[in-house]
Amino acid sequence: MANIYYENSADLSVLSNKTVGIVGYGSQGHAHALSLRDSGIDVIVGLYEGSSSWAKAESEGLKVSTVSELSQASDIIMMLVPDHLQGRIYRESIQPHLDSTKTLMFAHGFNIHYGQIVPPEDVDVSMIAPKAPGHRVREIFSQGAGVPGLLAIHQNPSGNAIQNALAYAKGIGCTRAGVLDTTFKEETETDLFGEQTILCGGVTSLVKAGFETLVEAGYQPESAYFECMHELKLIVDLLYQGGMEYMRYSVSDTAEYGDYSRGPRVVDERVKENMKQVLKEIQDGTFAREWIAENDEGRPRFNAMRQQDTKHPIEQVGQSLRDMMGFLKQV
């Protein structure tokens, strides 16, 4: 069984005399910074000069500095900028100021696991990864609860990496829901696999294939949109709330029978074999090397694929339908 930490496993006071530096003020950055601040922790946000987020962070009562200044002043440095930017920011603004008194933290293991950042051996390196988007982390924290999180330790020369990481997790509310003990390798590889085969790549490819099948068979695009994309949220919410059993309890018997009898014909053993190949490319570094090279080359394929999918008919139909759904603007 996995080791899971809760509130009584974490002591927030271990951070009482420390300064936590949050590098970045995007989705996760603002959630971590504001929640830690509300937990009584001294927080600095690190941004580049001229960042549009600088004034926003200051307006929310946070201290803001350059990343280099943050690295000198902070005891714990949390990297919350996108993966492809972390290596350069680390080399230019963080590495020169690291010493054995500091902790380097991450919310995703990509750059450590694939060797894009190699910290000095005398520096603690840990990870606290909330399992929710930043706005959700902040929303749930503000309600007095928290989202689950992951904890991993890459280096622990001080002997204090675990207690500091758990205190950090408590400061953003994760210990209220539970913090799962893992490794940088496991977090990185399972996170990438989930994104590519289910949560992003798998879902969008399945939705597009279903939409195209119905439209090519002569059905109205609007009907195809409702059946293949719009109603997906209803099913996901049921799965989120109570798993597959609760989802099947909530839908009709006709839908449940179709689930059992037709679902495996769509997602069959060939799909599982493809998933295994995707996992292999994550494990052996093929995907990481491809993504790093893509960014080094200016993202030509990424930008082309993004542009191509914005022109897919389901996006055009969906946009016009969503514009008429006033309730969506309140979500």
CATH number (domain holding residue 31): 3.40.50.720
Q: Specify the 3-state DSSP secondary structure of 178.
A: coil
From the candidates 30, 108, 113, 154, give the one annotated as an active-site residue. Answer: 108
**222 in a structural domain:** yes
What's the pLDDT score for residue 330?
58
Does 50 score more than 80 pLDDT? yes
Question: Residue 231 sits in a domain of what CATH number?
Answer: 1.10.1040.10
Tell me if 247 is assigned to some domain: yes
Task: Tell me how far the alpha carbon of residue 266 is from its chain's centroid.
Answer: 28
Q: What is the mean pLDDT of residues 75-82?
A: 98
- Position 326 scores a pLDDT of 80
Long-range pairs, 283-289, Cβ under 8 A, ≥24: 283/189, 285/114, 287/192, 287/196, 288/110, 288/114
Based on the domain organization, do 149 and 199 belong to the same domain?
A: no
The answer to whether residue 187 is domain-embedded is: no
Tell whether 26 and 160 lie within a shared domain.
yes
Q: Quick: pLDDT tens for 197-225.
A: 999 999 999 999 999 999 999 999 999 99
Residue 74: which of 105, 112, 38 has the closest Cα? Answer: 105
Q: Render pLDDT for 264-297 as a digit per residue (tens, 0 to 9).
A: 999 999 999 999 999 999 999 999 999 999 999 9
167 and 203 assigned to the same domain: no
> Edge-to-edge strands of the sheet including 76-79?
4-5, 179-181, 149-155, 124-130, 103-106, 76-79, 19-23, 42-46, 63-65
Same domain, yes or no: 267 and 164: no
* Statement to judge: residues 114 and 207 lie in one domain: no
Q: Is residue 113 annotated as a catalytic residue, yes or no?
A: no
* CA dist list (Å): 243 to 6, 132, 248, 249, 257: 23, 17, 9, 10, 17
> Looking at 182, 201, 235, which one is the last position of a domain?
182
3-state secondary structure of 246: helix
User: Is 60 exceeded by the pLDDT of residue 331?
Assistant: no
Contacts of residue 97, defined as CB under 8 A and 6 or more positions apart, other chains included, come to 68, 71, 72
| 191: CB partners within 8 A, 6+ apart | 108, 109, 129
User: What is the structure's pLDDT at 264?
Assistant: 97
Average pLDDT over residues 297-310: 97
Q: What Rg, from alpha-carbon coordinates, does the chain have?
A: 22
Residue 43 lies in a domain: yes
Total Cβ atoms within 10 A of residue 295: 14
Report if residue 325 sits inside a domain: yes
The tens digit of pLDDT for each residue in 143-182 reads 999 999 999 999 999 999 999 999 999 999 999 999 999 9
- Mark whether 167 and 218 lie in a shared domain: no
Q: Are residues 63 and 171 in the same domain?
A: yes
Tell whether 141 and 243 lie within a shared domain: no
- Residue 76 belongs to a domain: yes
What is the Cα–Cα distance from 74 to 52, expressed in whole angstroms? 22
* One-letter amino acid of 131: K
> Considering its fold, how many domains does the chain have in total?
2
Express as a percent the part of the chain with pLDDT over 70. 99
Domain final residue, candidates 158, 182, 206? 182
What percentage of the chain exceeds 90 in pLDDT? 97
pLDDT above 60 (res 86): yes
Residues 150 and 232 in one domain: no
Give the pLDDT band (50/70/90) at residue 83: very high
Model confidence at 251, pLDDT cuts 50, 70, 90, reads very high
196 and 173 in one domain?
no
| Residue 76 scores a pLDDT above 60 | yes
Supply the mean pLDDT for the chain. Answer: 97
Query: CA-CA distances (angstroms) from residue 92 to 68, 108, 117?
Result: 8, 20, 12
**Domain housing 233:** 192-330
Tell which of 182, 208, 236 closes a domain. 182
**Looking at the structure, do residues 53 and 177 belong to the same domain, yes or no?**
yes
For the whole prediction, is pTM greater than 0.75? yes
In a domain, 10, yes or no: yes
Residues 163 and 286 in one domain: no
pLDDT at 318 over 90: yes
Checking if the pLDDT of 229 tops 70, the result is: yes
Confidence of residue 2 (pLDDT cuts 50, 70, 90): confident
